[in-house]
Amino acid sequence: MTRRKLPIGIQTFREIREEGHYYVDKTGFALRLIEQGKYYFLSRPRRFGKSLFLDTLAELFAGNEALFQGLEAHGHWDWGRRYPVIRLSFGGGVLRDRAELDDKIGELLAEAERQLGVASDAPTLSGRLAQIIRLAHERHGERTVVLVDEYDKPILDNLARPEAARAIRDGLRNLYSVIKDSDAHLRFGFLTGVSKFSKVSLFSGLNNLIDITVDANYSAICGYTESDLETVFAPELPGLDRDEIRHWYNGYNWTGEAVYNPFDLLLLFQRRQFRAWWFETATPTFLVDLLLERRVFLPRIGQLRSDAALLSSFDVGQIAVEALLFQTGYLTIEREEQRFGEYWYQLRYPNHEVYQSLNSSLLKAWTPNGQEMLGNKARLGELLLANDFAGLEQLFTAFFASIPNDWYRNNPIASYEGYYASVFYAYFASLGLDLTPEESSNAGRLDMALRFNGQVYLFEFKVVELAPDGRALAQIKDRGYAERYLDADGPIHLIGVEFSRERRSVVGFAVETLG
């Protein structure tokens, strides 16, 4: 097969099709949406192809048949009908207040009027949109299509400024409410964004939206599937380890078929390196700040559970950690369960990239001395390779010494094992190591299990007053935490770590090796 151009950063369907780029055919999804409903909402993380899908819908409704030659939609669409399309995109720039939002909406509506050949004299923005929809229907003889991209970005850009975010939210709600009232003049409506704001806060006037975010039939509406790699991108695969590609970038799931992040794969094919391409582009600072502010227990992030209501609940000043991590793409769905008439979701990290990179970001937030933190990470890997337990004891003390004094004074959980376990976990996870935090057994929960270099390391952490008492190692042995690993090929290391908050140091470090 012939290698084609990589559509890195290209969100325009026409450019991809006319200039010979790779294209994964998503037009079948577009046909099913149009056939089965009228108004839709889709939430997906950034850089997942939402804008490209909206552009594909726009070209389809505009009847640009030449662009669809060879695609699924081509033989199943009436190309003789052309629908007027209104496109509203809030993806560009940062709007800092309601006035700037209103200016932006005015610009978007003026462009819609120019493209559709209509003019509105309504005094309000919502009235102007309603009039454009009606006039476009009358002028073109077909009902109007409204496509809204990044509908929530003006709010997300201002989450650190709640008053501005609420004012912007109210302005958007006023605009979006027009869609329902214009039903007689509309053929189709589609809104996309990163987050799903609650219907009460943003969609109170638009309660007829069908949310396909966690619909198994549309899990792969954005992103690349395993099949896409084997077919569309087959020319790019020689020289790359398929298992490694899957380990790094696959795993996003919305209750159906799992997908890869498109941006990751395209950068991998271009640069031929496994790196956190997606994560490095723009991890929202408010996410890291919120996790630290809420004092989230890091080992538990990849094991969170949520019901459907919480997972889709998002509003200014009312952001659940589970919803934020899921909607921004740092957690995905492991499985869906129905219990007592409600749907529950077990969440997990989607892949190696997100697991390692998110914990690295949190570790950097904890340890402002970047060079010291990087040195500690590198040293940790070297000591593990050498099984240098004396060196590990010294390094663990260095971990705590690097934490700012304010954390000890202001963090109410600093006296508990959980806080120190989070510190340990962040260092290990930032290396991308295979960790199982809080591993359960009939006898209780082990703090952390590590599988590395053909060996197993079982960690238990304890806070003591000043002097070690041996409880950490004794608990691993007394509760038989090692029993499930006895059939492992390599040795099993039982490691009890005891530390004193007062002395800010490891005061006990006991190791016993089995096998």
Q: What are 222-270's pLDDT values in tens digits?
A: 999 999 999 999 999 999 999 999 999 999 999 999 999 999 999 999 9
What DSSP state is assigned to residue 21?
Answer: B
CA distance 28 to 80: 19
Strand partners, 259: 252
Write the CATH number of the domain with boundaries 25-218: 3.40.50
**Centroid of chain to Cα 202:** 21
**pLDDT range class, residue 406, cuts 50, 70, 90:** low
pLDDT score at 414: 46
**pLDDT range class, residue 441, cuts 50, 70, 90:** low
Choose the weakest-confidence range: 11-20, 296-305, 307-316: 307-316
The three-state secondary structure class of 51 is helix
Antiparallel, parallel or unpaired: β 305-307 and 492-500: unpaired
Q: Match 């302005």 to its residue by tokens.
A: 171
What DSSP state is assigned to residue 303?
Answer: G
Non-local (6+) Cβ contacts of 325 within 8 A are 287, 301, 304, 331, 347
Query: Of the segments 48-57, 175-184, 291-300, 414-423, which one has the largest average pLDDT value?
Result: 48-57
Domain 367-514 = CATH 3.40.1350: yes
Q: Where in the chain is the domain with CATH 3.40.50?
A: 25-218
Non-local (6+) Cβ contacts of 65 within 8 A are 74, 77, 79
pLDDT higher than threshold 60 for residue 365: yes
pLDDT higher than threshold 90 for residue 502: no
State what percent of residues in the chain have pLDDT above 70: 92
pLDDT higher than threshold 50 for residue 415: no
**pLDDT range class, residue 404, cuts 50, 70, 90:** low
- CB contact at 8 A, 266 and 298: no
**pLDDT range class, residue 300, cuts 50, 70, 90:** confident
Q: Where in the chain is the domain with CATH 3.40.1350?
A: 367-514
Mean pLDDT of 164-175: 94
Between CA 84 and CA 91, with CA 86 as vertex, the angle to 5 degrees is 150
Sign of the dihedral defined by the CA atoms of residues 469, 470, 472, 474, in that order: negative
- CA–CA distances in Å: residue 137 to residues 203, 295, 330, 408, 436: 24, 53, 41, 64, 58
Q: What is the DSSP string of 322-381?
A: HHHHHHTTSSEEEEEEEETTEEEEEEE--SHHHHHHHHHHHHHHH---HHHHHHHHHHHH
pLDDT higher than threshold 80 for residue 204: no
pLDDT higher than threshold 70 for residue 405: no
Non-local (6+) Cβ contacts of 44 within 8 A are 50, 192, 194, 213, 222, 223, 329
Order of strands across the sheet that contains 455-464: 434-441, 444-452, 455-464, 492-500, 505-514
Query: Of the segments 130-134, 365-369, 465-469, which one has the largest average pLDDT value?
Result: 130-134
CA distance 153 to 326: 16
- CB contact at 8 A, 497 and 395: no
pLDDT score at 193: 93
Mean pLDDT of 71-77: 97
pLDDT higher than threshold 60 for residue 498: yes
